[in-house]
């Protein structure tokens, strides 16, 4: 298993567009590389004060199911150990003050970069979502309402939009739970289509963390749990971030 | 295998939000249900005259690699049996004159629906792509240039955007090659990140068609084939469309 993770990093190293990625390799090896606690990662990820806009807040487009379940989880953040993750326009905002492994370091410029799941700024038309995380249980719930710009079959969310939402939630939780940074694989089985404008509840678990890999699972279903939309598993590669 | 396909359809039937989906089932059974030839599907899919805007045309944002490979394939459409698929704003436009199985029939309204891969109208910022198809070889090539609104790790395309692009190409080819309509599963392994603004070439094959299922594979790589971005397999469920 580790061997494949290293192979993955080696492939990054050979990628001409990722200069200096060779320096990822040494950092993969020692177990002590993963030194940040989940708590410290969460508090860095969820700043109490920030000027950045949080997109994971209720708006007029949210359906009643989405709104009421959001309020329910917000209550749980007060006592039950759940944390609400803010959602900024770009991952660049989330990792402020942290240095990516050199192979992943993008040149900074003034382009209008957007995290894919925040690519559509019009309320209700694209990805509406909010992610909650329970650090000690290593569980997460993402409330996802796909808008009409995410269409696949007429009237239903594109399978790619659900896969994207799962990958994005996986990646945030993989990072917070174990410094998982890169998706190595996703395996998704679709069971039912999600009607545009309705709520899908994504229940995510960190299944195990082994050396350089982190294994996640997701069941996406309707709020009443009667309709399963998809089941997905994912494997992430752990790469430590440095303080800048 | 068939059993699972039917189970899938049965699940659609039990979905409260898909009224009348029970009528999908009888149409799944007889092999004769799949009566449309690839040629007739292709000619319906690629109308010689249409008022609809084709988004799969070169624009100023295309990188030189994308532009020159597009021209290369355009040449191949003149003699080598390749077809360029037009890309409309919504799948509703592609299936004009066809009736979806009743479980998939969406109510028509005046909402601004967009196919997920055409969700961002600003040139170069979202999904830039063009799909070519070789009907008799059952092969396809999709030229994909992800823009800065599809970001995951800073400077690189989100894994979900590549998965979406593959699923979208799979679904168009699954339909044309064998009336595949619904994605049942996707299995993707990521090998390298795609830098935003650069070209990824998706090479897609229809591996086999068995009764109700259609099996696809994809290798996404750089133009020089030196960097593999991802490998993906997908299974689609075949559901016949009726003429309206």
pLDDT digits over A72-94, tens only?
999 999 998 999 999 998 887 77
Instruction: Return the pLDDT at A181.
Output: 84
pLDDT at B116 over 90: yes
Are A111 and B195 within 8 A, CB to CB?
A: no
C-alpha distance from B145 to closest chain A C-alpha (Å): 14
Task: Tell me which chain A residue has its CA closest to the CA of residue B157.
Answer: A116
Which chain A residues touch B192 with a CB distance below 8 Å? 11-12, 15, 18
Residue A226: list chain B partners with CB under 8 A.
16
Query: Given this model, what pLDDT does residue B27 score?
Result: 41
Q: Kindly indicate whether the domain formed by B2-243 is annotated with CATH number 3.10.129.10.
A: yes
Task: Name which of A91, A95, A164 is nearest B164 (Cβ-Cβ).
Answer: A164
Q: Where are the domains of chain B?
A: 2-243
Of the pLDDT bands very low, low, confident and very high (cuts 50, 70, 90), residue A167 is: very high
* pLDDT score, position B14: 37
Higher pLDDT, A79 or A11: A79
pLDDT tens-place string over residues A186-208 = 999 999 999 999 999 999 999 99
Percent of chain B with pLDDT over 70: 77
DSSP A188: E
- Over range A130-134, report the average pLDDT: 97
Give A-chain residues touching B116 at CB under 8 angstroms.
149-152, 157-158, 160-161
Beta carbons of A188 and A231 less than 8 angstroms apart: yes
With CB atoms and an 8 Å threshold, state whether A193 touches B125: no
Confidence of residue A185 (pLDDT cuts 50, 70, 90): very high
When pLDDT is averaged across residues B155-182 and rounded to a whole number, the result is: 95
Mean pLDDT, all residues of chain B: 83
ipTM, two decimals: 0.86
- Concerning whether A39 is annotated as a catalytic residue, the answer is no
Q: Which chain A residues are within 8 Å of B89, Cβ to Cβ?
A: none
pLDDT in tens, B137-167: 999 999 999 999 999 999 999 999 999 999 9
In this prediction, residue A138 has a pLDDT band, given cuts at 50, 70 and 90, of very high
Q: Is A145 helix (H, G, I), strand (E, B) or coil?
A: strand
Question: Are residues A203 and A218 in contact, defined by beta-carbon separation less than 8 angstroms?
Answer: yes
Instruction: Provide the pLDDT confidence category of residue A242 given band limits of 50, 70 and 90.
Output: low
Distance from the A89 Cα atom to the nearest Cα atom in chain B, whole angstroms: 10
Q: Which of A167, A205, A211, A224 is catalytic?
A: A167
What pLDDT score does B13 carry? 37
Secondary structure letter of residue A103 according to DSSP: G
Mean pLDDT in residue range B218-228: 97
pLDDT(A179) > 60: yes
Q: State the nearest Cα–Cα gap between A34 and chain B, in angstroms.
A: 19
Cβ neighbourhood burial of A224 (10 Å; 0-12, 13-18, 19+):
exposed
- Confidence band, pLDDT 50/70/90 cuts, at residue B44: confident
Q: Are B238 and B34 in contact (CB under 8 A)?
A: yes
- The pLDDT assigned to B207 comes to 97
Of B151, B187, B193, the CB nearest to A115: B151
Cβ neighbours of residue A173 closer than 8 Å, sequence gap 6 or more: A131, A133, A138, A140, A204, A206, A216
Contact B164 A167 (CB under 8 A): no
Which residue of chain A is at minimal alpha-carbon distance from B12?
A: A192
pLDDT beyond 50 at A13? no
Per-residue tokens: A239: 């790469």
Distance CA(A125)–CA(A131), nearest Å, equals 18
């Amino acid at each position: 298993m580790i061997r494949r993770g290293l192979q993955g990093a080696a492939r990054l190293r050979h990628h001409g567009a990722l200069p200096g990625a060779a320096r990822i390799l040494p950092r993969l090896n020692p177990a002590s590389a993963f030194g940040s606690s989940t708590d410290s990662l969460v508090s860095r990820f969820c700043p109490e004060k920030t000027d950045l806009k949080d997109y994971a807040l209720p708006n007029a487009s949210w359906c009643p199911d989405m709104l009421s379940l959001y309020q329910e989880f917000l209550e749980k953040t007060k006592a039950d150990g759940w944390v609400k993750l803010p959602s900024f326009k770009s991952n660049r905002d989330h990792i402020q003050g942290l240095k990516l492994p050199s192979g992943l370091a993008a040149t900074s410029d003034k382009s209008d970069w957007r995290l894919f799941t925040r690519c559509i700024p019009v309320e209700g038309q694209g990805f509406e979502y909010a992610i909650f995380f329970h650090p000690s249980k290593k569980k997460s719930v993402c409330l996802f309402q796909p808008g009409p710009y995410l269409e696949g079959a007429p009237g239903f969310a594109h399978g790619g939009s659900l896969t994207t939402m799962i990958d994005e939630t996986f990646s945030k939780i993989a990072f917070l739970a174990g410094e998982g940074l890169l998706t190595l694989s996703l395996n998704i089985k679709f069971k039912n289509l999600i009607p545009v404008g309705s709520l899908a509840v994504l229940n995510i678990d960190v299944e195990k963390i082994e050396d350089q890999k982190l294994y996640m699972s997701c069941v996406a279903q309707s709020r009443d749990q009667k309709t399963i939309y998809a089941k997905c598993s994912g494997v992430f590669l752990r790469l430590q971030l440095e303080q800048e």
